[in-house]
Structure 1
Amino acid sequence: MNRIKAILDQKGIKQIWLAEQLGKSYNMVHSYAQNKRQPSIDDLYRIADILNVDIKELLVSNKPEQDN
């Protein structure tokens, strides 16, 4: 699972713009944003660079949060 849509919404960036920056089709980026398809690790790094965020911000943790 990824948080691409949430980050795009936070930054006010359109999926079509991200698609252009990545050199991918809008449909591919839309699939990433809807979690219907997951980007490769390389593409995740590129997306993080383009959006100027840490790659960890694009991912949903697979571990439940624990109280200390």
Structure 2
Amino acid sequence: MSKINRLSEVFDQKGVRNNDIVKLLRVRKETVSRWVHNKQQPDLHKLYLIAEYLRVDIRELLHPSDWSKSKVEPFS
């Protein structure tokens, strides 16, 4: 099964525990555990809140990248 989010990796990088997110979003710890293990996904609003809390681009929660430094070329 491929990963569809990077919550576990980003939490580790930022030193954040699942319980921190439980308190932030007022959700059950089982819910956050399912998100971290890619068994269920948070909705877009919750992803936004997590990204804000972690001070990362929301896209970093989904796919590793260097968004802030990349220059996107327009389609021809």
Any gaps of 5 or more consecutive residues in structure 2?
65-76
Shift of 1:17: 1.1
Tell me which residue corresponds to 2:8: 5
Q: Percent identity?
A: 38
Answer yes or no: is 1:23 the counterpart of 2:13: no
1:40 and 2:50 aligned: no
Query: Which secondary structure state, in structure 2, belongs to the residue aligned with residue 13 of structure 1?
Result: coil
Q: Which has the higher helix share?
A: 1
2:59 and 2:10 mapped to 1: Cα distance? 12
Aligned-residue offset at 1:18: 1.1
Which one of 52, 56, 65 corresponds to residue 49 of structure 1? Answer: 52
Structure with the greater alpha carbon radius of gyration: 2
Q: How does the TM-score come out when normalised to structure 1?
A: 0.83
Instruction: Spell out structure 1 runs of 4+ moving beyond 3 A.
Output: none
